[in-house]
Amino acid sequence: MEQLTSDSMISIALGIAIFAAFKFMPRILAWGIPFHGPEAVKARIDKGDNVLVIDVRSAAEFTGELGHVPGSINLDSASLAARINELGDKLSPHKNEPVVVTCRTHNRSPRAAKVLKAAGFDDVSVMKGGLSAWNRAGYQTERRA
């Protein structure tokens, strides 16, 4: 068996570091914002909690193959800050209520959750795994706007 050289060990360590950075990047971006699995989100909805689900995918994704959480609203992450300002009065009542942010896998939603926190939303979380995980769990979706 060959011995690892210091160059090989550095390459392996660098590869592990890069993998970890990509794997944990959403959590790093959303530092201080909790992640909840689709099971927890669905349980809150089923319990009757007044949870606002904000889907930050594009409009085409929102009505596309994966569908969206029933009752959720679509605010594309690309224009989220402007849309929050534009919808000010309509969103204001939700600033003190639970808000769950989702996307396809939870890569876009952490940044969007930070934007919502900065805009004064108190109880913001991210749905871990996004609509991909919601669908894998077999939960109902809608495909209309």
pLDDT, tens digit, for every residue of 90-138?
A: 888 889 999 999 999 999 999 999 999 999 999 999 999 999 999 999 9
pTM over 0.85: no
Nearest CA-CA partner of 102 in 139, 19, 20, 18: 139
Three-point CA angle 12, 18, 20, nearest 5°: 100
* Integer Cα distance of 42 and 40 in angstroms: 5
Cβ atoms < 10 Å from Cβ of 44: 17
| CA distance readout (Å), 58 to 40, 64, 76, 102 | 24, 10, 5, 12
Lowest mean pLDDT among 2-11, 64-73, 92-101, 117-126: 2-11
Lowest mean pLDDT among 20-29, 35-44, 102-111: 20-29
* Integer Cα distance of 2 and 82 in angstroms: 58
Indicate the domain borders of the chain: 6-136
* Integer Cα distance of 88 and 143 in angstroms: 26
| CA distance readout (Å), 138 to 34, 108, 141 | 23, 22, 9
Tokens of 14: 């660098």
Question: 6-136: CATH homologous superfamily?
Answer: Rhodanese-like domain (3.40.250.10)
